[in-house]
Amino acid sequence: MITELISWLREKGAPLHPGATDQELAQLTEALGAPLPDDIVALYRDHNGMGEWLYSEEEEDEHEADEGYGGQFFRLMTIAEVLDVGNFIYDDLAFSVALRACIPDRWGCFWTDDESNHLFLWLDGPLQGRVGLLMHADTCYPVLFRSLESFLRAQKRAGHRGFAYGALTGDYPPQQTTASPVEEQGVVAQLQLLLQDETDSDERLMASRLICLLLPWEQSAELIPLLDDRDFYVAEDAAESLGKRRYGPAVEALRRAILAKRPNVPSAAAKALCQIATPEAIEAIFASPAGYFRSASDPWRVAEAMIEAGYRFRPGSPKPEYCAPSSDTWHPFTFPCPNKILYPERFQDAS
């Protein structure tokens, strides 16, 4: 995969720097405190990072509507940049003694989109080889890709236009029953105990986020109690994970979460119901107040989720109307959404 990626970068004219020296690689290894994976060494021997890879206005116009794309390319940083980034990022990511007992916090931050978002690689411990995301040195998704190869394939698939970090998806959380590595199961079990006993909000959030990402799909029901967690950030993460997992049995709990007068949780629960998109999930949204909408595009996203679930739409007066897949009865789309916000070609005749 490394050879394939390098060939692709050169073919596309990426601004690659000359390869790193043995001395530079030794300096990086010493600074990170762990051996560098062979693939990382191979990348740096070929090119010691790359410059910012901007795309043309034509490329931007062509891809601006693509879901999940349109951000800057996550480029490999130079070794000097990796060392410099480490001076402030690693302090932000430092684990407590309790968390470190579950997962050694040793990683290397190797990629950036030059918009304060970084991707890092776990260098040892039970999550060794996984790739995570740090957004603006603030919000951390500790695992996104199960391996460096998985990330590099996704990067090549995204192409020059790169990922839009807000829509960046990978191998976590699982969306179907898959064989979960034994080491991940062990981490989850330890973190669940830690979550019960830990009092520090930052540590609880990191523990819960790892649980939400690593928990096997068939154990998704264990996330439902977290919707009522005393920390609304933990509850928000649980809702987000249940939505990405498209876990249908969580519909009723998510409906209740919409009604909860807590910061962030109602909108996260509503989005999760849109992602689950079963008839029960859609009806749960309509049974809830519309106050969770945070932007004018939210009603459109609900409508899109309904269309994907088999619902039909038609222009109404003054708002669109919808019809369930197994029904001939049309209902007004009661949320703030004029006819023009939905693509006309997506409407279907009442007949």
pLDDT bin (cut points 50, 70, 90) of residue 40 is very high
Q: In what order do the strands lie in the sheet with 321-323?
A: 312-314, 321-323, 330-332
Give backbone dihedrals phi and psi of 330, rounded to 5 degrees, phi first: -100, 140
Q: With 80 as the cut, is the pLDDT of residue 69 above it?
A: no
Q: How confident is the model at residue 19 (pLDDT cuts 50, 70, 90)?
A: very high
Grouping H, G, I as helix, E, B as strand and the rest as coil, residue 227 is: helix
Tokens for 223, please give them: 């996330």
Q: What is the mean pLDDT of the chain?
A: 79
Looking at 3.40.1580.10, 3.30.930.10, 3.30.559.10, 3.90.1210.10, the CATH number of the domain 2-167 comes to 3.40.1580.10
CA distance 265 to 270: 9
Q: Which of 213, 211, 281, 286 is nearest to 252 (CA)?
A: 281
Higher pLDDT pick, 343 / 220: 220
56 pLDDT above the threshold of 50? yes
User: Which H helix or E strand runs over 325?
Assistant: none
Domain coordinates of the chain in residue numbers? 2-167, 182-292, 310-351
The CATH fold of domain 182-292: Leucine-rich Repeat Variant (1.25.10)
User: CA angle 95-146-100, nearest 5°?
Assistant: 15
pLDDT at residue 115, rounded to an integer: 83
